[in-house]
Chain A
Amino acid sequence: MPSEESPVATHVLEFPGGYTRTTGPVIGRFLTELRDRRLVGVRTAGGRVLVPPLEYDPDTGEPVTGEYVEVGPAGTVQAWAWVGSPRPGHPLDRPFAWALVKLDGADTALVHAVDAGSPKELRPGLRVRPRWRAATTGHITDIECFLPEVTSLVAPVRAEYRVMPGRALTRFLEGVRDGRFLGGRCAECAAVYVPYRVSCPACGSVVEEEVEVADTGTVTTYAINNLPDPRAPEVPFVSAYVLLDGADTPMIALIGGIPAHEVRQGMRVRAVWVPPEERTPSMTNVKWFEPTGEPDADLDDSIGGS
């Protein structure tokens, strides 16, 4: 380990103008075709197609045939290494993969950069195609990089409606605006439906009688929700079926004012209304239902637990 006092100096070895490297006929053909935006390999005596081409069969040392075969331009990723922090000499200035790409028609793979955005996009068998540089010069970097083939597209769908609540729900929401729950009693079935509605789902009769039910009720059953959703209350939250006193159908409501794991089937609850000045004709007027402190109600199977 050098001590802090050790002298340090930068030393650069750079042949002025760069080396002039001769390609020979085979690599030269490959690079010439590349300048024309074509990818070629060379066939070996054994029939394999080498890409990039060599002057010899690397397995046997025998010379290759003079047959050049156009391959690609698409290919398949065989293996890759993700480069999360590209260096100055790298082909891309954003994270990319060095990949072994086997071009269609080739029997060997070439190394090149794949611009895939995220390592999650890479997998063996990923289909890719070259992105060519605007000006080609006969260099492997004439291909700027390979890009995954198009396999999906984003299809935005948006429908915008003007929702009108209708006569029955409007009546119910008027009640909610005033801090009251309104229901309808079916003359045929004697059942009280909350929210108020104008036809009975059981017998089809017109519901004529409006009734007000209490803002207290019983939790018949519930779920503790632990999956966060930006549109839902903070987890864990309890969504419960609350059977209001005087109603025959439960409503799904949020339970508050009590830790989630202390909620019980049969628990007596009361609606907590937002202050009058904040009220609108909407169920958001009910902040939640909270325990009344009364003893739990006996649950009767006939209430359906729903």
Chain B
Amino acid sequence: MGNRCAVVGVGQTRYQTRRQDVSLAGLVREAALRALEDAGLTFADIDAVVIGKAPDLFEGVMMPEAYLADALGGAGKPVMRVHTAGSVGGSTALVGASLVQGGVHGRVLVVAFEKQSESNATWALSTHLPFNASLVVGAGGYFAPHIREYMRRSGAPDHIGTLVAVKDRLNALKNPYAHLRIPGISREMVESTPMLWEPIRYLETCPSSDGACAIVLAAEDKVTGTPAWIHGTAMRSEPIMLAGRDVVSPRAGRDCAADVYRQAGVTDPRREIDVAEVYVPFSWYEPMWLENLGFAAEGEGWKLTEAGCTALDGDTPWNASGGVLSSNPIGASGLIRFAEAALQVRGTAGEHQVEGVRLALGHAYGGGAQFFAMWIVGSSKP
């Protein structure tokens, strides 16, 4: 795993449908300056900048990392961009961490963003190449069949997705940065919304958000402020078209979890991980990932959700921040999971803080559930 590395600063923008008051540069600077302030640092203290975002077609700015380099204090420093689709926020944190763990840099600024309001993600994800039939389905249309297959295999009752949709939005009410803050959110409210891509209802879907998230990573001798220590990092990927590929519980996700648990010395994630921030853009992905990440046996994930185990006051809280279901600036969504895990072990998560967190999991996935990035952070040194 290399040298010790810690998160020493976290900065987020408020996530909302449209941030019309700022440019792209202004948006990422808002998050970056907050992260630096949190760490008690300035741009001058940073050795390298790593930028992450989802496909360039979302904003129509090609290679935005080139345009944003100087806005993020990167002049004269190494600046690079990471791209692993929806998991990119997580991968960006891991690339930044590797630069510290490998002894290359002492302090790295990691920034991820999306400004979905500049175009339309469904359009950008469905480019309709020649020679293919036109079957524009977007992300919801892509994942809905996998959810249906999970429901068939596990025999989970229909209301499980509704429970997650309510639980994460209740948590979002405690998070001042969350996009969807729905007073009085209830099962009835979720169930009354239309099926967009059956079996996915409107309120079982993540919103389209503008926003940015930033973290400052530091080597052990460069730590300022309150550190969240990295105990393990892992990435895995798999081809989207692979004979026998299990899209309900992808092997890349299972392997990635096994790797990060091994590094952190975790053998029973449900007992040993105090809080998890897991990429759940459609509510049914909570039970699916509970199984894929080994928090529950195959076919049993929905039972944890149903029993309230993943609620803020449950024995294994998932997405205390409200998760992707409450805020989805796509490129930043993975980094928000990683940053929220760090906030939890630092004890600085605010109203959605889980008590006594020692170990936290940050998770992101992307593409056709084919890219995975995870880290485990702790309140004490590894």
Give me the interface of A with B, judged by CB distance under 8 Å: 151-152, 155, 157, 163, 165, 169, 173, 189, 191-193, 201-202, 220-227, 229, 231-233, 236, 239-241, 248-249, 252-254, 265, 281-284, 286, 299, 301-306
B122 at interface, CB cutoff 8 A: yes
Instruction: Provide the bound-state CA to CA distance between A231 and B21, in Å.
Output: 32
**Stretch of B75-83, B104-112, B134-142, B155-163 on the interface side:** B134-142
On whether the beta carbons of A191 and B243 are closer than 8 Å, the reply is yes
Residues on the B chain within 8 Å of A282, using CB: 130-133
**Smallest distance from the beta carbon of A77 to chain B beta carbons, Å?**
15
Using an 8 Å CB-CB cutoff, how does the interface string of B101-134 with A read, 1 for contact, 0 for none?
Answer: 0000000000000000000001000101111111
Judging by beta carbons under 8 Å apart, are A253 and B149 in contact? no
- Nearest residue, chain B, Cβ from A238: B198
**Cβ distance A261 to chain B, nearest Cβ, rounded Å:** 8
Q: Closest approach, in angstroms, between the C-beta of A167 and any C-beta of chain B?
A: 14
- Are the CB atoms of A202 and B148 closer together than 8 Å? no
Chain B contacts of A155 at CB under 8 A? 60
| B242 engages A201 (CB within 8 Å) | yes
User: Shortest distance in angstroms between B22's beta carbon and chain A's nearest beta carbon?
Assistant: 10
Asked if A283 and B153 sit within 8 Å, CB to CB, the answer is: no
Q: List A contacts of B138 (CB < 8 A).
A: 227
Q: Please indicate the chain A residues that have their CB under 8 angstroms from the CB of B21 in the complex.
A: 151
Interface of B is mostly: loop
Instruction: Decide: B242 and A202 in contact? CB cutoff 8 A.
Output: yes
Q: Tell me the bound Cα distance from A23 to B190 in angstroms.
A: 62
Q: Are A305's CB and B133's CB within 8 A?
A: no
- A189-B243, A191-B244, A305-B146 given; A231·B152 CB < 8 A: no
Q: Which of B8-16, B245-253, B300-308, B371-379 faces chain A?
A: B245-253
Chain B residues near A249 (CB-CB < 8 A): 241-243
Q: B194 near A: Cβ within 8 Å? A: yes
In the complex, A249 Cα to B239 Cα: how many Å?
12
Q: Contact check, A226 vs B198: say whether CB atoms are below 8 A apart.
A: yes
Distance in Å: Cβ of B116 to nearest Cβ of chain A = 14
Q: Which residues of A contact B295 (CB under 8 A)?
A: none
- B60 contacts which chain A residues (CB < 8 A)? 155, 157
Q: Which residues of A contact B189 (CB under 8 A)?
A: none
Q: Mark out the residues of chain B between 227 and 274 whose CB falls within 8 Å of any chain A CB in the assembled complex.
A: 239, 241-248
Min CB gap B240→A, angstroms: 8
Find chain A residues with CB under 8 A from B149 CB: 220-221, 265, 305-306
CB distance from A216 to the nearest CB of B (A): 18
Question: 21 A-B residue contacts at CB 8 Å?
Answer: A163-B129, A201-B241, A202-B239, A220-B145, A222-B148, A223-B140, A223-B145, A224-B144, A224-B197, A226-B197, A229-B126, A231-B126, A249-B242, A249-B243, A252-B137, A254-B135, A265-B148, A303-B244, A305-B149, A305-B152, A306-B245
List, in ascending order, chain A residues with CB within 8 A of B198's CB: 223-224, 226, 236
Roughly how many angstroms separate A117 CA and B85 CA in the complex, as a whole number? 38
Nearest-Cβ distance from residue A149 to partner chain B, whole angstroms: 11
Q: Which residues of B contact A225 (CB under 8 A)?
A: 137, 141, 196-197
B141–A248 touching, CB < 8 Å: no
> Is the CB of B20 closer than 8 A to any CB of chain A?
yes
Pair B130/A163 contact, Cβ less than 8 Å: yes
Contact yes or no, A232 B148, CB < 8 A: no
Please indicate the chain B residues that have their CB under 8 angstroms from the CB of A253 in the complex.
Answer: 133, 135
- Are B197 and A223 closer than 8 Å at their CB atoms? yes
Interface residues on B, range: 35 or more
Are B20 and A152 closer than 8 Å at their CB atoms? yes
Known contacts A229-B136, A231-B136, A249-B242; A165 and B131 CB within 8 A of each other: yes
Task: Give the distance in Å from the alpha carbon of A223 to the alpha carbon of B149 in the complex.
Answer: 10
Any chain A CB within 8 A of the CB of B195? Answer: yes
Residues from chain A with Cβ under 8 Å of B134 in the complex: 231-233, 284
B136 touches A221 (CB 8 A): no
A-B pairs, 10 with minimum CB distance: A305-B149, A223-B144, A191-B243, A248-B243, A224-B198, A201-B239, A306-B247, A221-B145, A232-B136, A157-B60
CB-based contact A226/B243 at 8 Å? no
Knowing A191-B244, A248-B244, A282-B131 touch, does A239 contact B137 (C-beta < 8 A)? Answer: yes
Contact status A223-B246, CB under 8 Å = no
Q: Given that A254-B135, A283-B131 are known contacts, is A241 also in contact with B242, CB under 8 Å in the complex?
A: no
Q: Beyond A223-B137, A283-B133, A306-B245: 5 further Cβ-contacts under 8 Å?
A: A201-B239, A227-B197, A231-B136, A233-B134, A305-B248
Which partner residue on chain A sits nearest B298 by CB separation?
A: A301
> Does A173 lie within 8 Å of B131, measured CB to CB?
yes
Bound complex: CA A222 to CA B200 (Å): 12
B-chain residues with CB within 8 Å of residue A223 when the two chains form the complex: 137, 140-141, 144-145, 148, 197-200
Chain A residue nearest in CB terms to B238: A201
Closest to A282 in B: B131
Out of A202, A227, A301, name the residue touching B243 (CB < 8 Å): A202
Rounded to whole angstroms, the CA-CA distance of A189 and B135 in the bound complex is 30
Question: A284: which of B122, B126, B133, B247 is its contact (CB, 8 Å)?
Answer: B133
Q: CA of A202 to CA of B122 in the docked complex: distance in angstroms?
A: 29
- Distance in Å from the Cβ of B60 to the closest Cβ of chain A? 4
Bound CA span A157–B199, Å: 35
Which residues of B sit under 8 angstroms from A191, Cβ to Cβ? 243-244
Residues of chain B within 8 A (CB-CB) of A227 are 122, 138, 140-141, 196-197
Q: How far is the CA of A115 from the CA of B144 in the complex (A)?
A: 45
Within the assembled complex, what's the spacing in Å between the Cα atoms of A224 and B197? 5
| B126 surroundings in chain A (CB, below 8 A) | 229, 231
Tell me the smallest distance from the CB of B205 to a CB of chain A, in Å: 10
Assess the A304–B148 pair: CB atoms within 8 A: no
Q: Would A304 and B153 be within 8 Å (CB), given that A224-B195, A239-B145, A286-B133 are in contact?
A: no
Q: Counting chain B CB atoms within 10 Å of each CB, which of A169, A224, A236, A252 scores highest?
A: A224
A152-B20, A223-B144, A226-B198 known; A304 and B135 CB under 8 Å? Answer: no
A7 to B301, CA, bound (A): 83
Residue of B nearest to A260 (CB): B198
Nearest to A306 among chain B residues (CB) is B247
B315 to chain A, nearest CB (A): 29
Contact of A226 among B133, B153, B196 (CB under 8 A): B196
| A63 to B125 Cα, complex, angstroms | 66
B257 to chain A, nearest CB (A): 19
